[in-house]
Amino acid sequence: MDRNQELIGKITMQAMEIMDVMELKEEELRLIRNLLGIRPLALEECKSESFSPVACYSQFSNGLKSMHSLLSSAHLYTEVDLTDLLYDLLEFISNVEEMMTAQGIPIDTHVPKKLPNGITEFQEKAGIFLILHDLCNAFNVFQKGLAAQWQ
Q: For all residues of the chain together, what is the average pLDDT? A: 88
The answer, yes or no, to whether residue 129 has pLDDT greater than 90, is: yes
- Residue 144: band (very low, low, confident or very high) from pLDDT cuts 50, 70, 90: confident
The answer, yes or no, to whether residue 150 has pLDDT greater than 80, is: no
Residue 27: what pLDDT? 84
Please answer whether residues 96 and 60 qualify as being in contact, where contact means their C-beta atoms are separated by less than 8 angstroms: yes
State the distance between the two ends of the chain, measured CA to CA, in whole angstroms.
Answer: 17
The H or E element spanning position 128 is: helix 121-149
**pLDDT tens digits for range 24-83:** 888 888 889 989 989 888 888 888 677 788 888 999 999 999 999 999 999 887 788 899
How many separate domains does the chain show? 1
Q: How many CB atoms lie within 10 A of CB 124?
A: 20
Residue 151: what pLDDT? 63
Q: Which residues contact 60 (CB under 8 A, 6 or more apart)?
A: 41, 43, 46, 96, 138, 142
Domain interval for residue 119: 2-149
Based on the number of CB atoms within 10 Å of its own CB, is 89 exposed (0-12), middle (13-18) or buried (19 or more)? buried
Q: What is the CATH number of the domain that holds 115?
A: 1.20.1250.10
